[in-house]
Chains A and B, each alone.
Chain A
Amino acid sequence: MSDDLSQFLPLSPATLHILLSLAGEDRHGYGIMQEVLRQSEGQYKLGPGTLYDNLQKLMNQALVEDAPRRSGDDDPRRRYYRLTRLGRKVLTAEIARLDTVVREAKLHLRVPTTRRAV
């Protein structure tokens, strides 16, 4: 299974943010854009063109799928998206990969500081 997931990794920043924004709950396009902005503390602003290009790719790869509408009086132009089981596995694998990178980076970046302190 890990071999199957490795073909999706590493994820691009846009893909990672989109999957991450859908990890908590189903969202519509504008909701994803706002959540990505919040997660990145305003540093990563995703435009609709980039968002839907990535969503199209993610849906083709079966990582994201359409979710049912929340209520009948919702704007009919709104479409909700959610992570598939495969999408959640890919996101988990990517977070684990990034965690290893961060741990490695911390280990290497700490060495000169420690030496100077001694």
Chain B
Amino acid sequence: MTRSLYRGLVWLHPRAFRSEFGDEMLWIFDEASAFGASSLLTDGVISLLRQWLLRTRVWTLAAATAGGILQVSLGGAVMFFHGRLNLHRATLVTSDVPATEELLHITVWALAAVLAMVAALALWVKSLNGRRLERLATGFARR
């Protein structure tokens, strides 16, 4: 039971980490679980969180998406209500159709803006990582 649980925890790790160290982690569990499986399970959970949150940096994309959605939603809402107000002032509102079209336009633009922001961030992070790896490689070559 505990082994299956630990196996599941190992399986949930990022693929690169799991394929490199997963078998060894299971082997250590087989060797050491007799002396206390609970501490190994706790370590497995902490490792899982560490690998996904700190090492893969998936959270940066999630945070960027959430931030982008928030910004664009707020901006869109302000634009929408401002537009409605202007329409009312000019007494041009005769039916709900223009307002619906306006809302649709804003939604499409908002989605496009969020996608563009996330893509830009992903490219930026990728280029940063590339440069960091290059620097490391150059440093080791010097040694």
Question: Which A positions have Cβ atoms within 8 angstroms of B?
Answer: 1, 4, 28-30, 33, 45, 47-50, 52-53, 55-56, 60-62, 75, 77-79, 86
Contact status A50-B55, CB under 8 Å: no
Contact status A77-B43, CB under 8 Å: no
The minimal Cβ–Cβ distance linking B15 to chain A, given in whole angstroms, is: 13
Contact status B24-A62, CB under 8 Å: no
Bound Cα distance from A11 to B136, whole angstroms? 18
B68 interfacial contact with A, CB 8 Å: no
Question: Which B positions have Cβ atoms within 8 angstroms of A?
Answer: 17, 20-21, 23-29, 31-32, 39-40, 42-44, 46-48, 50-51, 55, 136, 139-140, 142-143
On chain B, the residues within 8 Å of A62 by CB distance are 140
Contact status B43-A30, CB under 8 Å: no
Cβ 8 A contact of B43, one of A1, A50, A78: A50
Contact status B21-A52, CB under 8 Å: yes
On chain B, the residues within 8 Å of A33 by CB distance are 28, 32
Residue contacts A-B, CB under 8 angstroms, 12 given:
A47-B44, A48-B29, A49-B43, A49-B47, A52-B17, A52-B47, A56-B20, A56-B21, A61-B136, A77-B26, A77-B27, A86-B143
Contact status A49-B20, CB under 8 Å: no
User: Which of B21, B26, B28, B140 counts the most chain A CB atoms within 10 A?
Assistant: B28
Q: In the complex, which residue of chain B has the Cβ closest to the Cβ of A46? A: B43
On chain B, the residues within 8 Å of A78 by CB distance are 24, 27
Q: A4-B142, A30-B32, A33-B32 are in contact. Are A52 and B39 (CB under 8 A)?
A: no
